[in-house]
Chains A and B, each alone.
Chain A
Amino acid sequence: MSKSSYYREWSSNVGRDVVAGAVVALALIPEAIAFSIIAGVDPKVGLYASFCIAVVIAFVGGRPGMISAATGAMALLMIDLVKDHGLQYLLAATLLTGVLQIFAGLFKLGNLMRFVSRSVVTGFVNALAILIFMAQLPEFKGAGWQMYAMVAAGLIIIYGLPRFTKAVPSPLVCIVALTGFSMVMGLDLRTVGDLGELPSALPTFLLPNVPWNLETLWIILPTAIPLAIVGLLESLMTATIVDDMTDTASDKNRECSGQGISNIVAGMFGGMAGCAMIGQSVINVKSGGRGRLSAFSAGALLLILIVVLGGWVKQIPMPALVAVMIMVSIGTFSWASFRNFRLHPKSSSIVMVSTVAVVVGTHNLALGVGVGVLLSALFFARKVSQLLEITSDLSVDRTTRTYQIRGQLFFVSANTFADAFDFREVIQQVRIDVSLAHFWDLTAINALDKIVIKFRREGAAVELVGLNAASKTIVDRLGTHDKPGAMDQLAAH
């Protein structure tokens, strides 16, 4: 990317970027706290992470206008590591996650995103929303009616206020109102202050306090790998969403390395690993944010607010936080997917639902996406295997039967192919015309071999027509791009 277009990504939308950044910062505070709780660490870990990631990604990311910070998807993967080994190992895992992501960027693994189908993305988004929502449920356990009433009031403010004014962030009003109400009434509710330490100063540079040896590596690697994968998946999906919303392009591989760099910085300043956030990025675009400055100002303002207002943040009651998180989960969920059950093909719905089910079952978004991608590939293979037609003609003198094969022959369709021949017929000669068929792999060739042998055993002479043309597809690369006309050739025979 040229220097001038990078400069433009910072400066083309200054006023709106700063305002949108402020709106995002206010929404980031409750989220960062909530995700710290999920991961089982002090709120300051999430807040420092959100600050570092948002600010660093503004410089090194590949998708201006996208917001990255501490996220629920990542927090869910850290729980066990924090429980068993503590915060320092989480920070070390964060550094390793960053390194892995940088490599992913260098090796251009961002291009692999094209194997993730639309249905998998929808499943991912829905699973994420469900997990965020489920993470709020423990707060209701054993809580009195006050908790329920406060959450309901919070949601009414969040969704009701924009009907009257869109000039103030309604989640902020919700938090301020509920905090004030609970302080004035002296309600007995858990507050953010009860959850652990809040930041009172700027983060300081510190390497994680762990022994730097192989043993540590084996402890953090099983967490760092899914962290790196989920972080990139959510970031690249969000980047695509922002691309679509703003009708602009982004550099996905640069985004991969950028996520890595910002995670390394976060780990060094006492923050947990994070990635792009779908909900916050939507809020940012909605508030007019488009440039790199929006992410930067969101991070910077977040830290200023939290350091200056730390005493007040402590007083925020849990219901206010829960209400904001419920809003995030509602806003992230793709509600259209219910409607789409009727409209979309069943295979897409199965892919989507399986992705959701695996994620909700394992709390691991990477596994869910893996299953989703696998299923979409299988469904696709099955669909393509149906593109096969076999017809036959007997010659007038009743000595020769000609089989005409059209369509796609590969491991899925090989059986159908083999079953289409009539071996019981007593015939002198068999012609198999494959000039309109494509042999995609060895299974298909093998099936053809078997058929020929079988006919020979029945005493028929076999003639193959057009095999050379048909087996052109068996090479791994068709070279359509560098050889003009290759596609026509493929379609013609």
Chain B
Amino acid sequence: MSSILSCTDGSVYARSVYDHTAWAAQRMAAAVHILHCLEPRRNPAALTDLSGAIGVDAQAKLTAELVALDETRARVAQAHARAILADAERHLAAAGLKHVMVEAIHGELTDAITRFEATADLVVIGKRGEHADFAKLHVGGNLERVIRSCHHPVLVASRAFAPIERVLVAFDDGPSSRAAIDFAVTNPLLRGLSLYLLHVGNPNPELQSSLEAARSQLAAAGFVVAADVVAGDVEQVIVDTVKMESVNLLVMGAYGHSRIRQFIVGSTTTTMVRTCQVPVLMFR
């Protein structure tokens, strides 16, 4: 049985993450592992003691004080985590999923993912997390790190789930593009959906032929496929196409070898992922 690792933090994206997870789990007939990270010390225990005076057993007393503060906070965080996971369980049970495991662990999300990802066939994560709105620094920071550390496809959930029928595949003939095509052919996740293969850039014969090869490979697997080459700015063209063609899911490689690479490697990945208002399935 294949398995899906789904990361939640109880933010506004959490429900959508569960919906996307449910969608993927049903199509792949996969077990679901819901993971919630209690990220430590984002804000260290606060003391408002600026007296700068250290008295008898200062160090021992300070340690005791900090331990007590951390303890209180951690208990609250644990209770919060339990509530989040209970909600996740309810939500996925309502969606009719049977094999759901929920788990909370201490630590950074990226570390946790590197640990659990090995046994997962797909990772689901929200576009933004809990810290997104107030801590500018962390906007998508987790997302990018997760994508970089994952060896399996990552499904990045959009704000809300919408039924998925039309899929745009950003094709650059790189290894990650090929991984995406192979995944579509072998994995039931995308089976039966209408695909649109798009290469952004100037057409050349070599690319044309590999695009055609990919198209026929997909067609042979029973997909309804269209393929096209459009010149222009990668980010812009993809965002526009998503809108115009009312695409429900964007599939792209996280590391291509063409111009997409420039956009993907930098923090622009995140920008692109966010500008498109649809979920994104990323391959490495």
Residues of A within 8 A of B (CB): 4, 11-13, 16, 19-20, 23-24, 26-27, 158-159, 161-162, 165-172, 241, 244-248, 278-279, 282-283, 285-288, 290, 327-328, 330-336
Contact = CB atoms under 8 A, between A and B. Distances in A.
B53 A288 contact: no
Contact of A169 (B43, B51, B58, B70): B51
Interface string B244-277: 0000000000000000000000000000000000
Interface string B38-82: 000111101111111111111110110011001000000000000
Contacts of B51: 161-162, 165-166, 168-170
B231 interface: no
A336 B49 CA distance: 23
The 7 closest A-B pairs by CB, nearest first: A331-B54, A169-B52, A162-B51, A331-B58, A290-B44, A23-B52, A166-B49
B52 A288 contact: no
A170 B58 contact: no
Given A4-B145, A246-B44, A335-B57, A285 B66 contact: yes
A159 B50 contact: no
Contacts of A333: 56
B74 to A, nearest CB: 10
Nearest to B48: A166
26 contacts: A16-B46, A19-B50, A20-B50, A24-B52, A26-B52, A162-B49, A166-B48, A168-B50, A169-B51, A171-B52, A245-B62, A246-B66, A247-B67, A279-B54, A282-B58, A282-B59, A286-B49, A286-B52, A286-B58, A327-B53, A330-B54, A330-B56, A331-B58, A334-B60, A335-B57, A336-B60
B94 interface: no
Contacts of A24: 52
B137 interface: yes
A93 B60 CA distance: 35
Interface residues of B, number: 27
A287 B47 contact: yes
A18 B42 CA distance: 17
A361 B185 CA distance: 79
A171 B47 contact: no
Contacts of A282: 54, 58-59, 62
B55 A288 contact: no
A328 to B, nearest CB: 7
Contacts of B62: 245, 282, 285-286
Given A27-B52, A158-B53, 18 more contacts: A19-B50, A20-B50, A23-B52, A159-B53, A167-B50, A169-B53, A170-B51, A245-B66, A279-B54, A279-B58, A282-B58, A286-B52, A286-B54, A287-B49, A327-B55, A332-B54, A334-B60, A336-B60
Contacts of B60: 334, 336
A247 B70 contact: yes
Contacts of A331: 53-56, 58-59
Residue from B41, B48, B53, B66 with most neighbouring chain A CB atoms (10 Å): B53
Nearest to A339: B57
A331 B50 CA distance: 15
Contacts of B63: 244-245
Nearest to B59: A282
A11 B56 CA distance: 32
A12 B108 CA distance: 14
B42 A170 contact: no
Contacts of B58: 279, 282, 286, 331
A238 to B, nearest CB: 10
Given A282-B62, A285-B66, A16 B50 contact: no
Contacts of A158: 53
A331 B62 CA distance: 11
B193 to A, nearest CB: 35
Interface in B1-55: 41-44, 46-55
Most buried by A among B55, B59, B62, B145: B59
B54 A166 contact: no
Contacts of A330: 54-56
A328 B42 CA distance: 31
Contact of B42 (A12, A161, A247): A12
A327 to B, nearest CB: 6
A312 B47 CA distance: 31
Contacts of B67: 247
Nearest to B67: A247
B238 to A, nearest CB: 27
B55 to A, nearest CB: 6
A24 B145 CA distance: 35
Nearest to B66: A245
Contacts of B55: 159, 327, 330-331
A172 to B, nearest CB: 7
A334 B46 CA distance: 24
B53 A162 contact: yes
A336 B50 contact: no
Given A166-B48, A282-B54, A328-B54, A241 B59 contact: yes
A160 B198 CA distance: 73
B57 A169 contact: no
A171 B70 CA distance: 28
B52 A16 contact: no
B225 to A, nearest CB: 39
B56 to A, nearest CB: 5
A143 B90 CA distance: 77
Nearest to A157: B53
Contacts of B141: 4
B54 A283 contact: yes
Contacts of B46: 16, 288
